[in-house]
Structures are given as structure tokens and as C-alpha cells.
Amino acid sequence: MAEVINMPRLSDTMEEGTLAKWFKKVGDSVKEGEILAEIETDKATMEFESFHDGVLLHIGIDEGSTAPVDSIIAVIGAKGEDISSIIKGSNTIKEEPKPEVKEEPKPEVKEEPKPEFKDEVKSALVSNESADRILISPLAKKLANEKGIDIKSVKGSGDNGRIIKRDIDSYKSSDYSQFIQPRPSITESSNESQNSTMRKAIAKRLSDSKFSAPHYYLNVECEMDNMISFRNQFINTQNIKISFNDIIAKAVSLSLARHPKVNSRWYDEKIVFYDHVHLGVAVAVDDGLIVPVVKYANSKNLPEINEEIKDFAVRAKNKKLTPAEIEGSTFTISNLGMFGIESFTSIINQPNSAILSIGAIIEKPIVKNSDIVIGNTMKLTLACDHRAVDGATGSLFLKTLKEYIENPVSILI
């Protein structure tokens, strides 16, 4: 009996999917567990396995096309099996053929006879031509050509306004165009690309977050000299190249464990405060942004966090993350410091109640013990949903985080 393959719901927010690639064609045999297709969701592109043995009898959606969740994308059954009734009842979206537009015959345009010039008009043209003629001596004309002077702009001082040598010698032009480089020809141009499923989902989710959650922002600046020394010592002693982002991720996780009101989720009837920390780490990909989640980040050490974030970053760019790896975050961090951005504000990644924006480490003069010295600082911006996180709550969280960052040895205790 034929088995209908529907567009799967591969994430909790998925409403439609794009068929990125078929690995089988109609008539091919399919075994259970074989990769049937690649499907692009609102968060990633994932391989879709077949759960049935048989022959691929029908493909209901072409590569690059989009269909809603649960619509029929394929049928698998026995070779030669009649599936016409299944296909007839399919709700797969097909592109409607465009109506043929017939061109209306153009009305015949009769050419009007051209008027003939009369003799008096012709003589007027001849006389105007004579009036437009410029009187100039051969020597003056030669000098004007050599100097690039437009003789139409020269006033003659000879008989009947004739231009002579002294007129060219004394001519001073007010036109500086000869000294200006001609501008290149500029034309309007543009190009366009269709929004991917991920890009459309990002736009929808961020709009929903920005306009439903009342955002406010808290800023703090941290001294980074101790963290720079700590990182260098850790790398030298442990022979593991951790990043500043790894250390900050660990510091954030420990701070959230101490301030669960920030590690929370808003519901209309209640607020849920999480004891565990599932830390979302924003990763830039070609189509936009994806947020893999480091589960139980507060209980993991620096090498474990480093390894997990590196692995997520590589697989995110290759679209190989699974739905389980990009869901369930309780808090999110976004780092643009590697791009030289000193500070910025982020939109909360709902259903989280807050997100931390991490800026670049900047070397600059700072005041220490009443003296001005050269040091390194970093700016952090916490965006909070005011429904769940009050200003004082967010401020206490940042105070704890600043202490961890400026005294990173305490992270290991």
C-alpha cells in the first residue's frame, strides 16, 4: 500500500518548508533510513530520511519550491501501484499557469505628408545662416584652436566685429570646464534575491518580539586586563585555545544561576524561572542568524563550552544542526566584538526574557587609583523584557557578571 510523505514539522515555529534538494527521483527504489531530501526550515536546512521501503512513485514539490507543513511532498509504494486517487486529493501547491495574453492588433497609422518648404522660408534660412557666421582672421582662428578657446565666446574688436589676434591674446575665459575631469556615466541599478524560509522566519520572529515585549537596555563597561592575562595563562597551561567568548559564556551562565529572575520566560498568567541554564549563542550564517543552544552551560567547564560552540558554528554554516540543538534556550548572547563593534543593542530572542550584546575589547586610557593608565575595556548591553525582568533585577545580574569578568579566576572556583 502506498505511503504518503508529508512536509514534516522540523521545528516548533515551522509553518512551511522549502524543498532544497531531492536525492531520489521518480522510479528510484527507497529503503527505510535512506536520505530522501533536504528541507530548508525557518532555522536550518536538514536531511529528511525515509521511514518506508518501496519505490518513489510521485514527487509533489519541485526543488526550490515551498509548501506548508503537512502538505504532500512525495508518495512511496510498490512499483506500478495506482496512486491517481492520492495525487488527485493532494493539496500540494502547484504554480498556476499564467493566462495567455493575446496582443491586440496595432491600429494602422497613416504617415502624414511632410510639408514642403516654400521659397521664402528657404531664403530666410540662408540669410540666418549668414548672420550666424563668425568673422575671424585666419591667424586668430589658428591661435584659438591651439589654446582651446571657443571663438563664439570671444568679442571681436576688428572691423564689423571681426576677431583678430589681439582679441585671442587678451581673452580670459570664465569657463573652467577644461580643467575639470569629466564625471563617469552613472546609471541607476539594483538586483534582488528571493527571501529564504529562514530570512522570512527571522523577520517575523524579531518583529513579534520587538513589538510584543517592552524592551529596555542596561549598559556596563568592564575592565579586561585580568581576563586577557587569565586567557593567556589558561592557553599556556592547558594547551587549549579558548576564546574570550567562551569565558564570557561561562561567566554569563554562572551569573544566570545566581539570578534566575533574568533566566526566565513570560506567560500571560505566570513567569517561569529556570534553575538550569540553556545558553543560546547567536551565529551568523549566509541566510541570517541561527541560535544553537549550549545545554546546562552553568555545569560545563571552559574546554567543554569551547568545543561545543566551535562545533555549533561549523555545522550552522553547513546547515547541519538538528532541531533539538536550536531549541530550548533560556537566555541568549550575541557577540559582534570580532567585527570591531564597540557596543550595540539586540532584539530579545523570545521566549527568553533577556539577551546580552557583547562588544569589542578596546585599548584606551582609563583611571586606576586616581591615575590615568592605558588599559583594555569591553562594553556589554543587556536588553530585558520589562514584563519579566525589572531594572533592579537586570542591574544586579550585570553587577555579578562584571565581577566574574574582571576577576575571571573566580569562574574556576
Q: Rounded to an integer, what is the distance from CA 276 to the centroid of its chain? A: 32
CATH classification code of 3-88: 2.40.50.100
Element (H, E) at 331: strand 331-335
Question: Domain residues of the chain, as ranges?
Answer: 3-88, 136-176, 197-412
How many CA atoms lie less than 13 Å away from 151 in the CB half-sphere? 22
pLDDT value at 279 more than 90: yes
Q: Is the peptide bond before 408 cis (omega within 30 degrees of 0)?
A: no
Q: Using one digit for the tens of pLDDT, what is the confidence trace for 379-401? A: 999 999 999 999 999 999 999 99
pLDDT of residue 111: 52
Average pLDDT score over residue span 155-162: 82
Q: Provide, rounded to the nearest whole percent, the portion of the chain with pLDDT above 90.
A: 44
Confidence bin at 233 (pLDDT 50/70/90): very high
CATH classification code of 136-176: 4.10.320.10
Average pLDDT score over residue span 137-165: 83
Evaluate whether 109 touches 94 at the Cβ level (below 8 Å): no
pLDDT of residue 317: 87
Rounded to a whole number of angstroms, the CA Rg of the chain reads 37
Q: Using one digit for the tens of pLDDT, what is the confidence trace for 202-219? A: 888 889 899 999 999 999
- Candidate from 24-38, 160-174, 230-244 with smallest mean pLDDT: 160-174
Average pLDDT score over residue span 313-336: 92
- Candidate from 70-79, 239-248, 261-270, 351-360 with smallest mean pLDDT: 70-79
Rounded distance between C-alpha atoms, residue 110 and residue 113, angstroms: 9
Q: What is the DSSP string of 354-403?
A: EEEEEEEEEEEEEEETTEEEEEEEEEEEEEEETTT--HHHHHHHHHHHHH
pLDDT of residue 93: 41
Confidence bin at 251 (pLDDT 50/70/90): very high
pLDDT of residue 177: 52
pLDDT value at 78 more than 60: yes
Q: Using one digit for the tens of pLDDT, what is the confidence trace for 112-132? A: 555 454 444 444 444 444 445
Higher pLDDT, 366 or 13: 366
pLDDT value at 240 more than 70: yes
**Residue 2, SS3 per DSSP:** coil
pLDDT of residue 218: 98
pLDDT of residue 330: 97
pLDDT value at 247 more than 90: yes
pLDDT value at 405 more than 90: yes
pLDDT of residue 90: 62
pLDDT of residue 125: 42
pLDDT of residue 63: 86
Evaluate whether 356 touches 380 at the Cβ level (below 8 Å): yes
* Nearest partner of 253 among 281, 272, 225, judged by Cα: 281
Q: Using one digit for the tens of pLDDT, what is the confidence trace for 12-56? A: 777 888 888 889 888 888 888 888 888 887 667 778 888 888 888
pLDDT value at 337 more than 90: yes
Higher pLDDT, 272 or 177: 272
pLDDT of residue 173: 59
pLDDT value at 182 more than 70: no
**Residue 318, SS3 per DSSP:** coil
pLDDT value at 137 more than 60: yes
Rounded distance between C-alpha atoms, residue 265 and residue 328, angstroms: 11
pTM exceeding the 0.85 threshold for the entire prediction = no
* Nearest partner of 247 among 231, 263, 224, judged by Cα: 231
Rounded distance between C-alpha atoms, residue 383 and residue 346, angstroms: 7
CATH classification code of 197-412: 3.30.559.10
* Nearest partner of 132 among 117, 152, 160, 156, judged by Cα: 152
Paired with 46 in beta bridges are 39
Average pLDDT score over residue span 361-369: 93
Which of left, alpha, beta for 97 (phi over 0: left; psi -120 to 50: alpha)? beta
Average pLDDT score over residue span 79-83: 80
pLDDT of residue 129: 44
Catalytic residue numbers? Answer: 386
Average pLDDT of the chain?
Answer: 84
* Nearest partner of 281 among 240, 254, 250, 303, judged by Cα: 250
**Residue 199, SS3 per DSSP:** helix
DSSP summary character for residue 350:
T
pLDDT of residue 281: 97
